[in-house]
């Protein structure tokens, strides 16, 4: 999708669909201009009650033939003078859906004047661009016939003054890059597990790197991981015919002396639970258990397009968890790359087993911070539902930065404690630790406590994305969260937010 910014008078703009706001029954300034131009057509429709009062409601009105504006899309804001960033995101999703329904090939957004929390014009433009671009995503790879392609190709954002024009242009470019990374993440998540294997993830990393001099890729096979002592990670893939992979992508946008941000993604391309077999109902959704890995690869795609002046390392720990004859059994003890031993009481708590070796491996990059993301625990969904990912960290500053980035990007997280009092739950009679906590309580937290034991040498944060990485039910599919949150964090680190 193409984006442009215009300062032309609203009445002179030519578009297939002009998008204007309505505050309850009061037309916005831009809508008033069009209402005057079209002899009260907009205000008459609002007065008649044709536009519902619920925020996000839309109404498409055709204008007289040969008009500059083929149609006008009215968008209901409600009575509030200021929108939260979350409300604005929801509003824009409704707008994008309504514009697609018109079959317009281009649209003019007259929404830049909205008051959205404390958001800058750049941030408002970035979110509009992200949502419009992301709305084009359609999964089609495994259908026998191609799906119809959206007709919307171009969006113009209207700007009232020169002072904000460059900010809006920058925001549009950033939003496109974010959506590009989200498309990678969604596509990988949506692919079936017989296609999206650990090897496929490695191939995707190489495809993202292709043609970009700032990116490099290294892929470790099982023999190389065994030499490094990654017994924990390899215990997960032991029962599968699919070979595990450790994928390391480096993005070098700053001087070599500048410490990198390391991003680690859980890449369980299918999770049966292993010998601790899951129930059959809904097991198809375990193809999404690699959404942490897909997020890392999507972020590397976004980074390459943004060309940020920072250094970032993306690590993907990829394996398939199957109950084969060589599979790890409950009660087995394995040795991690760190040298710490782990009694595996539940083979379905496998994500932390691949992540812990990746966390140890990350130390070789002498990181500034390390952030891992994983569809780790159902307990996190019980705690937070589907609205926010769970955040656990050994750094108050890193936590604050991630929480602020989540709020600003409308992709929120919520911090959970990993106090020392929880650590004893991981005690084992036969190893340095067990891979699950004793009892059924605080499962998301004890998983975070487990990971923290492998992240002592640097600032670290863990994002449990089990509740936000994909949608269930009728709208089943990957969401690409937390790509927006982490891109916002990277933009802020690069001082380009």
Max Cα-Cα span within the chain? 82
- Three-class SS string for the chain? CEEEEECCCHHHCCECCEEEEEECCEECHHHHHHHHHCCCHHHHHHHCCCCCCCCCCEEEEECCCCCCECEEEEEECCCCCCECHHHHHHHHHHHHHHHHHHCCCEEEECCCCCCECCCCHHHHHHHHHHHHHHCCCCCCCCCCCCCCCCCCCEEEEECCCHHHHHHHHHHHHHHHHHHHHHHHHHHHHHCCCCCCCHHHHHHHHHHHHCCCCCEEEEEECHHHHHHHCCHHHHHHHCCCCCCCEEEEEEEECCCCCCCCEEEEEEEEEEECCCCCCCCCCCHHHHHHHHHHHHHHHHHHHHHHHHCCCCEEEEEEEEEEECCCCCCCCCCEEEECCCCCEEEECCCCCCHHHHHHHHHHHHHHHCCCEEEEEECCCHHHHHHHCCCCEEEEECCHHHHHHHHHHHHHCCCCEEECCCCHHHHHHHCCCCCCEECCCCCCCCHHHHHHHHHHCCCCCCEEEEEECCCCCEECHHHCEECCCCHHHHHHHHHHHCCCC
Q: Which residues are catalytically annotated?
A: 278, 352
């Amino acid at each position: 999708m193409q984006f442009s910014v215009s300062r032309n008078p609203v009445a002179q703009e030519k578009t297939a669909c002009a998008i204007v706001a309505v505050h309850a029954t009061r037309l916005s300034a831009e809508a008033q201009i069009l209402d005057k131009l079209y002899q009260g057509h907009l205000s008459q429709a609002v007065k008649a009650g044709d536009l519902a009062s619920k925020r996000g409601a839309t109404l498409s009105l055709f204008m007289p033939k040969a008009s500059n504006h083929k149609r006008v899309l009215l968008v209901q804001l409600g009575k509030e003078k200021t929108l939260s960033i979350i409300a604005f995101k929801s509003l824009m999703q409704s707008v994008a859906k309504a514009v697609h329904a018109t079959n317009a090939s281009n649209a003019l957004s007259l929404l830049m004047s909205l008051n959205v929390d404390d958001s800058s014009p750049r941030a408002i433009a970035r979110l509009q661009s992200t949502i419009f671009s992301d709305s084009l995503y359609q999964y089609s790879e495994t259908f026998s016939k191609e799906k119809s392609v959206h007709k919307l190709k171009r969006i113009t954002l209207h700007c009232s003054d020169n002072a904000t024009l460059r900010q809006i242009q920058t925001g549009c470019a950033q939003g496109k890059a974010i959506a590009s990374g989200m498309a990678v993440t969604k596509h990988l998540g949506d692919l079936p597990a017989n296609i999206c294997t650990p090897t496929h993830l490695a191939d995707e990393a190489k495809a993202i790197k292709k043609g970009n001099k700032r990116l490099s890729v290294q892929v470790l096979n099982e023999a190389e991981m065994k030499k490094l002592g990654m017994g924990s990670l390899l215990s997960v893939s032991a029962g599968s015919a699919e070979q595990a992979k450790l994928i390391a992508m480096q993005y070098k946008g700053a001087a070599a002396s500048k410490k990198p941000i390391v991003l680690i993604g859980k890449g369980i391309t299918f999770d049966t639970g292993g010998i601790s077999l899951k129930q059959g109902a809904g097991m198809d959704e375990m193809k999404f258990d690699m959404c942490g890995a897909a997020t890392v690869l999507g972020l590397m795609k976004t980074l390459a397009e943004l060309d940020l002046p920072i250094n970032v390392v993306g690590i993907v720990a990829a394996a398939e968890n199957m109950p084969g004859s060589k599979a790890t059994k409950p009660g087995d003890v394995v040795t991690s790359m760190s040298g710490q031993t782990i009694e595996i009481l539940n083979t379905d708590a496998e994500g932390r087993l691949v992540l812990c070796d990746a966390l140890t491996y990350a130390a070789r990059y002498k990181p500034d911070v390390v952030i891992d993301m994983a569809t780790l625990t159902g307990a996190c969904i019980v705690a937070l539902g589907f609205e926010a990912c769970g955040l656990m960290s050994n750094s108050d500053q890193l936590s604050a930065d991630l929480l602020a980035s989540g709020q600003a990007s409308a992709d929120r997280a919520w911090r959970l404690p990993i106090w020392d009092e929880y650590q004893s739950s991981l005690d084992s009679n036969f190893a340095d630790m067990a891979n699950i906590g004793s009892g059924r309580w605080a499962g998301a937290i004890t998983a975070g406590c487990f990971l923290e034991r492998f992240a002592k040498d640097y600032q670290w944060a863990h994002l449990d994305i089990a509740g936000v990485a994909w949608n269930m039910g009728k709208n089943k599919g990957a969401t690409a969260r937390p790509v927006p949150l982490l891109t916002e964090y990277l933009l802020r680190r690069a001082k380009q937010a």
